[in-house]
């Protein structure tokens, strides 16, 4: 019996997904889930926060959490209270966050979960960033007031690709004081621009296809490229494609991923 790839565990989601999607989720990186956006967001935020000069006593982890909360706010406003097709960390707080607006203007949320330090994206995905080759974990950097992550060349490239989708004023808004607000429609447009469910369909995904120089990485690159060319755009369609149409010269490519 083929062993489950370590990558499969890293990319598994906690909520239920259609059965036909499971094959795709086990074989291919999270090019079609919200996690692909989180990796880029973390890489960008770490790079941006670590390279700037801050006042003495500034805690960068807290600033990271502010950026994450502002991102979630934009997502919530873009999708509305009823939609659940783009799930993000802090999803359970959506109704509460959407009720904080005053005269259709919003500040960055004070909180999106009980313990963001323990359950936020930085805590959940930092190890995966390292194992995928986007970063190195450097705890000693905390002594210098920095976030304990050092981006690799590929991670820096990922950060740049993510930054291309950021609204110009997002950073300032996210770190602003409590008096600064933004109109709902502005935040809605930002949410559309930053929507995590769309990143897998953008050129942004390219660094994920180029992870490593191994046979498995080359196999992954060819397979996902083929899926994209075939018109497969959703987890559902990819799962069905893998189950019904993988034959001939591409069967070995799929098998390499399954058995890796």
Q: What is the pTM of this model?
A: 0.73
Task: Go through the chain and tell me how many residues it has.
Answer: 260
Q: Residue-wise pLDDT tens for the chain (260 aa)?
A: 444 344 434 333 333 334 434 444 444 444 556 678 899 999 999 999 999 999 999 999 999 999 999 999 999 999 998 776 677 889 899 999 999 999 999 999 999 999 999 999 999 999 988 888 889 999 999 999 999 999 998 899 999 989 999 999 999 999 998 778 999 999 999 999 999 888 766 566 667 666 554 555 555 556 655 655 555 445 455 555 555 544 444 444 444 443 33
pLDDT of residue 87: 78
- Distance between CA 49 and CA 152 in Å, rounded? 16
pLDDT of residue 237: 54
Would you tell me how many other CB atoms lie within 10 Å of the CB of residue 238?
24
Tokens linked to 67: 């950026």
Find all residues with CB under 8 Å of 175, minimum gap 6, and list them: 63, 66, 67
DSSP 169: T
> Is the distance from CB of 150 to CB of 138 less than 8 angstroms?
yes
Q: Can you tell me the distance from the alpha carbon of 226 to that of 222, in angstroms, rounded to the nearest whole number?
A: 6
User: How high is the pLDDT of residue 95?
Assistant: 93
CA 258, 132, 153, 68 dihedral sign is positive
């Amino acid at each position: 019996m083929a062993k489950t790839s370590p990558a499969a565990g890293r990319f598994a989601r906690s909520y239920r997904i259609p059965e036909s999607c499971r094959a795709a989720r086990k074989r291919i990186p999270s090019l079609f889930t919200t996690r692909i956006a989180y990796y880029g967001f973390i890489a960008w935020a770490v790079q941006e926060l670590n390279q700037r000069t801050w006042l003495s006593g500034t805690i960068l982890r807290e600033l990271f959490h502010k950026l994450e909360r502002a991102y979630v706010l934009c997502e919530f406003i873009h999708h509305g209270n009823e939609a659940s097709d783009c799930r993000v960390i802090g999803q359970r707080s959506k109704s509460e966050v959407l009720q904080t607006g005053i005269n259709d203007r919003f500040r960055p949320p004070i909180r999106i979960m009980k313990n963001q330090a323990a359950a936020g994206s930085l805590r959940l995905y930092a190890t995966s960033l390292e194992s995928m080759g986007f970063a190195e974990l450097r705890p000693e950097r905390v002594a210098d007031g920095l976030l304990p992550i050092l981006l690799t060349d590929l991670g820096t490239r990922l950060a740049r690709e993510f930054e291309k989708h950021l609204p110009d004023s997002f950073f300032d808004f996210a770190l602003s004081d409590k008096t600064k607000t933004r109109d709902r429609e502005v935040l809605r447009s930002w949410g559309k621009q930053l929507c995590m469910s769309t990143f897998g369909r953008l050129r942004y995904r390219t660094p994920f296809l180029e992870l490593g120089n191994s046979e498995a990485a080359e196999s992954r690159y060819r397979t996902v490229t083929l899926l994209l060319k075939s018109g497969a755009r959703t987890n559902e369609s990819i799962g069905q494609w893998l189950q019904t149409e993988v034959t001939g010269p591409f069967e070995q490519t799929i098998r390499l991923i399954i058995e890796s």
